[in-house]
Amino acid sequence: MLEAKFQNLKEEIHGYYLHVEKMYQDTITGILNHDTEVLTKIVEIEEPLANEKELKIDELCIDLLALYGPRGKQLRTIIMIMKMNNDLERIADHCVNISESALRLIHTPGFRNLSSQMLQMTDYVKIMLYDAFYSFANEDTALAKDVLKRDDIVDDIHHQNVRNLVSDIEHKTQLAETFVDLLLLSSNLERIADLATNIAEDVIYIVEGKTYKHGKFE
């Protein structure tokens, strides 16, 4: 009974990941295509569905812990799935934030599209999110550790975005609101990368029993 419910929990978290990953992909597609319908759907429909999935998975985790007393790796996995569940919900929230910024940008005269640097950032975040979850699905700690390394790259791009956009705000004050929305977009992308990194750290803990904090393993 425990094993069947445990497998069901893993299937549910996989389904939740697919939902959140699609939210992210649709968010970026909506920006690139100036598709207000897609962006509005993320805010009004997809995010509430993500919240429902999070609550369901939390309940499954609590039931497993309370009724079956799992131990060892199985216990670590359930606890990490609870953390991952929260991280996925937060990623969904950041997708909403990006969509809201994008909806304002699309209606701003003069806005054409994202810079090449911002597009590079969206690609890195997409790959990190994919690899983080699939390192969990396959218990692949080497892939999880690659995710940790790529977080530094996204951080560097974000810091460059901040410097560039702050300079733009100072020199083109008439476009300040546009640059602020681009700054918010970059910040939310950086946070999604951080949350993907959290998931990768959880994978390492599940498989190796090692905790990654402050840039090193303990």
Show the DSSP H helices in the chain as ranges: 2-33, 36-41, 47-68, 72-106, 116-137, 141-171, 176-208
Interacting residues of 111 by C-beta distance below 8 A, sequence separation 6+: 105, 178
Token pair recorded at residue 165: 């956009």
Question: What is residue 140's DSSP assignment?
Answer: -
Superfamily per CATH, domain 2-217? Phosphate transport system protein phou homolog 2; domain 2 (1.20.58.220)
Residue 215 has pLDDT above 80, yes or no: no
User: What's the mean per-residue pLDDT of the chain?
Assistant: 90
Residue-wise pLDDT tens digits, 138-191: 989 999 999 999 999 999 999 999 988 888 667 676 567 888 889 999 999 999
Residue 211 has pLDDT above 80, yes or no: no
Q: What angle do CA 86, 104, 170 make, to 5 degrees?
A: 100
Question: Cα 148 to the chain's mean position, in Å?
Answer: 14
Backbone torsions φ then ψ of 216, nearest 5 degrees: -155, 165
pTM for this model (two decimals): 0.91
Contact 212, 204 (CB under 8 A): yes
Amino acid at 64: L
The candidate with the shortest Cα–Cα distance to 132, out of 144, 148, 120, is: 144
Residue written as token pair 């999110």: 129
For the residues 88-103, what does the mean pLDDT come to? 97
Residue-wise pLDDT tens digits, 67-76: 888 888 888 8
Token pair recorded at residue 3: 């094993």
Instruction: Tally Cβ neighbours within 10 Å of residue 66.
Output: 8
Report d(CA 155, CA 181) in Å as an integer.
18
